[in-house]
Amino acid sequence: MTTYPIVEPEISDYLKCLSKESIQEVIDLFHGKEYKIPQIIEKFGLEKISVNTFVNKLPPVHHYDLVCPECQVVSWKNHLARNKKSDPFCPQCGEVLIYDFDPEERQRHIEYQKEREVWLRMMDPDYYEYEVVINRARYDTLTLFQKVFLGCAVQALVEDDLSTVKGKLLKEFKLFPNQEKLNEELRGLGIIEGVDYTECKYIIDVSVTKELLACENKLGSVLKDQFNLWKVIAMAESKEYLIGEMSTNNFRYHHDNKFKEVFSNLIQEHSVSQTFHLINKSVADACKLYAQRGNRYLAENSIIGLCARMADYYPTRGWPILKYERRRFHQSLMSQYFFNKLLKIGKVGFDYPPLLEILIHNNLNKNY
């Protein structure tokens, strides 16, 4: 049997004149029926005090049946009245002990405490397990997508030191229309695989921060980078709209490869504002198809192909493919930063397909 440490209670001045054994005897008599309290006082030659005060002078007794699972010391009981003791409690942490000490229970308790600590740290908005350091050398190796991401993060959230961005706060913003694509593109930024960009704290060189805020010289990008990012944004915005329109009508999106194939063609000649029209009409047609045939799977699978066919036959019949407005989803921060701040073409980025000519004739483009 394990013996647990004992914490000795302090003895009040009132009883200090007595030996340890006598004090124990006083306590035993106090809880017994044989003696009245004045008799106990007399028996041990103690100062005469009131009955109520007397009880407070008695030191707590050890209760060997219960050990504090945390502090692993033998519990105490206080004296409440004659023949009445308190519940056992821990002399160290003060916890009232109501269960028997059980080593397994204790292990579970410790594990729970650990988990809770981790959880509390995670919940702390200022605690970050992951840090991404962007110094000048690092910055120069980044893709335009990554620079635009950092530009938005800095613009929205950089601290007064002009170098810290707390990723958790980025959750409040719509940075890009497609989270999956965003995480994929950000991998090269130094974010550990499997970690979300909102779980990191970004430490950015102040000169880099200033460059991102001013967005001068198109962040050192060349035409090809700008053209590619325009396409990436056009695809992401089209996909966001498509999935949104489909889910409104309880259609599921499940042909990502087909989407990529069809829409990478569509956006060569059609603006995002026009793909919205094609998507809107195709989903409406799919609803009609579903109403006629009663086959949801067939209807939802027809949508992407319909977009391509409409893009082909509308012009042959002299029907315009209209330019829709952004109504359903607001523009993401990266899209705004890229078209308004970096290219400075604003709504042209939405109303025209990605076009090298536009980029070339963008006379502010010093890299051309």
Where do contacts with Zn ion occur on this chain (CB under 5 A)?
68, 70-71, 90, 92-93
Smallest distance from Zn ion to CB 152, Å: 51
SS3 label, residue 5: coil
Residues 6+ apart with CB under 8 A from 146: 185, 186, 188, 189
Q: How far is the CB of 76 from Zn ion (least distance, A)?
A: 10
Beta carbon of residue 95, minimum distance to Zn ion (angstroms, whole number): 5
Task: Give whichever of 70 and 205 is closer to Zn ion, judged by the CB atom.
Answer: 70
- Helices then strands, counting H and E runs in the chain, come out as 15, 7
Nearest to Zn ion of 91, 349 (CB atom): 91
Q: Of 25 and 70, which has the nearer Cβ to Zn ion? A: 70
Kindly state the DSSP code that residue 262 receives in the 8-state scheme. Answer: H
Minimum CB separation of residue 114 from Zn ion in Å reads 18
Min separation Cβ 96 and Zn ion, Å: 10
What's the Cα-to-Cα distance from 261 to each of 224, 230, 284, rounded to whole Å? Answer: 21, 17, 22
Q: Residue 271's closest CA among 219, 348, 157, 199?
A: 348
Q: Which residue has the tokens 């090809």?
A: 224
Q: Shortest gap between Cβ of 117 and Zn ion (angstroms)? A: 18
Residue 89, helix vs strand vs coil: strand
Q: Which of 131, 196, 143, 145 is nearest to 170 (CA)?
A: 196
Q: How many Å apart are CA 84 and CA 361, to the nearest integer?
A: 94
The residue (of 4 and 44) whose beta carbon lies closer to Zn ion is 4
C-alpha closest to that of 338 among 253, 232, 263, 242: 232
357: CB partners within 8 A, 6+ apart? none
Instruction: Supply the minimum distance, in Å, between the C-beta of residue 105 and Zn ion.
Output: 14
Determine whether 223 is exposed, middle or buried from the number of CB atoms within 10 Å of its CB (0-12, 13-18, 19+): middle
